[in-house]
Amino acid sequence: MLDIRLFRNSPEIIKENLKKKFQEHKLPLVDEIIELDRRSREARKNADDLRSRRNTLSKEIGALLAKGRRDEADSGRGKVDELSGELAELQALEEHLAAEVREKLMTIPNIIDPSVPIGKDDSENAEVERFGEPVVPDFEIPYHTDIMESLSGIDLESARKTSGSGFYYLCGDVARLHSAILSYARDFMIGRGFVYCVPPFMIRGNVVSGVMSFAEMENMMYKIEGEDLYLIGTSEHSMIGKFIDTILGEDTLPQAWTSYSPCFRREVGAHGVEERGVYRVHQFEKQEMIVVCRPEESPDWFVRLCANTVDFFRSLDIPVRTLECCSGDLADLKVKSIDVEAWSPRQKKYFEVGSCSNLGDAQARRLAIRVRGRGKGNYFAHTLNNTVTAPPRMLIAFLENNLRADGSVAVPAPLRGYIGGKESLVPNAKRGASILLP
């Protein structure tokens, strides 16, 4: 949510930003907000004037009563009642107009960083850098669920019976690998100075509207029927919500947290053939990182957060690239965002495994997360977030990049301590085990 003073003083900046975001249909909203804000401030001024007149008259009535001039005082009381009625109407009007202004403000996107490339959609995102050498082996890479099934590691059919499409059972070594990746990600981030946290997995509606736009909420969130609670789509939601209505001392910043949570997403819309299996699901687990900091620090933190994810994947020898999101692909609250994509030997291309975002003060303004400034008054903090890893999608990249020609899967050294010291996962036929899954 933008500062209303920007609408009053520099509406052309907002309109130009809307054009860069290819949201020209919202241009009339800028003038509507300016007019509603003018009327709201006018109602507030008139209410203040009335309140002052009423207070003055009340004092005069008190003086008249002290002098025994009751008839004149009773006449004044009637005027006070009249002013109180007018004041109540003005206060109601002011509240209504202020609510309208806030509602419309929530639909205006954040001002993007000057470095963001201009483009209509994700097809115009710009590659920034590649890390590691993408390899296509001289043997065929099976579909990821086929690799998992060869390890007796997944049961989609039973999940369809219990829960429907978009759910899964992970079993045996694949389930252990899933947990190992998350545990390693947790320790990786703790080693980088982040505080570990397991947050609530449900949040209230005012937190939801504080951390994301209404359109995102409609496409992502599951609501608990009959309660003001939503299942989180990522731990960023409850972690940023942790600071709602707080004033932080500058000496407590930056706040750098790494959080684990299950995530629940509606995933509305149709998806391609490669997004079957466990690529796009309704339930998954994730290790996240979030930062709350001073505005001048957020550009540097953005670079550091993105580097953390790249370094994590490279520590497991998975090639990745970073992709700068263009203006039209940025969610409305974001100032700047970079996607991290892992190499898929099967598809011979990269696919998204994480997203690093600087949201400026948009979330902080919505949630009233302020900083107690030294000698310059309170100001809104900046918030950032990034994915460390999100199995099971990360499993796809891991299995494809570590698959051997004989069907076994190599386990890199950093993960072995989390999976009983195993150096490889062996298919059923290789280890003589029965295949438990259909």
Supply the CATH number for residue 53's domain.
Answer: 1.10.287.40
Measure the CA dihedral 19/20/21/27, to 10°: -20
Helix (H) or strand (E) holding 321: strand 320-324
Asked if residue 137 and residue 50 are part of one domain, the reply reads no
Asked if residue 135 and residue 47 are part of one domain, the reply reads no
Are the C-beta atoms of 260 and 287 separated by less than 8 Å?
yes
Asked if residue 184 and residue 36 are part of one domain, the reply reads no
User: What CA–CA distance (Å, rounded) separates 216 from 125?
Assistant: 20
Token pair for residue 338? 């970079």
Asked if residue 170 and residue 91 are part of one domain, the reply reads no
DSSP state of 317: T
Asked if residue 303 and residue 199 are part of one domain, the reply reads yes
Token pair for residue 435? 């295949």
Are the C-beta atoms of 390 and 384 separated by less than 8 Å?
no
The CB density around residue 274, as the number of other CB atoms within 10 Å, is 16
Nearest partner of 315 among 400, 416, 408, 393, judged by Cα: 416
pLDDT digits (tens, 9 = 90+) for 42-100: 999 998 888 887 777 777 777 767 777 777 766 667 677 777 888 888 889 999 999 99
Instruction: Give percent above pLDDT 70 in the chain.
Output: 94
Amino acid 211: pLDDT: 93
Are the C-beta atoms of 194 and 256 separated by less than 8 Å?
yes
Asked if residue 152 and residue 66 are part of one domain, the reply reads no
Amino acid 275: pLDDT: 54
Domain final residue, candidates 105, 139, 169 = 105
pTM for this entry: 0.88
C-alpha 187, offset from chain centre: 23
Token pair for residue 400? 């494809």
Length of the chain measured in residues: 438
Asked if residue 134 and residue 89 are part of one domain, the reply reads no
Domain final residue, candidates 105, 133, 154 = 105
Asked if residue 131 and residue 101 are part of one domain, the reply reads no
Asked if residue 93 and residue 151 are part of one domain, the reply reads no
As a whole number, mean pLDDT of residues 345-350 equals: 96
Amino acid 302: pLDDT: 98
Question: How high does pLDDT run on average in the chain?
Answer: 91
Burial class (CB in 10 A: 0-12, 13-18, 19+), 125: buried
pLDDT digits (tens, 9 = 90+) for 201-248: 999 999 999 998 877 777 789 999 999 999 999 999 999 999 999 999
Helix (H) or strand (E) holding 7: helix 4-9
Amino acid 272: pLDDT: 53
More confident call, 216 vs 102: 102
As a whole number, mean pLDDT of residues 148-172 equals: 94
Residue 110 belongs to a domain: no
- The pLDDT confidence band at residue 437, using thresholds 50, 70 and 90, is very low
Nearest partner of 379 among 247, 209, 290, judged by Cα: 247
C-alpha 161, offset from chain centre: 32
pLDDT digits (tens, 9 = 90+) for 121-146: 999 999 999 999 999 999 999 999 99
Amino acid 220: pLDDT: 86
As a whole number, mean pLDDT of residues 153-178 equals: 94
Asked if residue 157 and residue 93 are part of one domain, the reply reads no
pLDDT digits (tens, 9 = 90+) for 400-411: 999 999 999 999
Amino acid 89: pLDDT: 87
Structural domain range at position 206: 122-431
pLDDT digits (tens, 9 = 90+) for 252-295: 999 999 999 999 998 755 455 555 788 889 999 999 999 999 99
What is the tally of structural domains in the chain? Answer: 2
Supply the CATH number for residue 149's domain.
Answer: 3.30.930.10
Residue 354, pLDDT above cutoff 80: yes
Domain final residue, candidates 73, 105, 137 = 105
Amino acid 76: pLDDT: 64
pLDDT digits (tens, 9 = 90+) for 361-410: 999 999 999 999 887 789 999 999 999 999 988 999 999 999 999 999 99
- Tell me which residue has tokens 């400026």: 360
Question: Helix, strand, coil shares of the chain as percentages rounded to 5?
Answer: 45, 20, 35
The number of C-alpha atoms within 13 Å of 174 and in the hemisphere containing its C-beta is: 28
As a whole number, mean pLDDT of residues 426-432 equals: 66
Token pair for residue 73? 């005082």
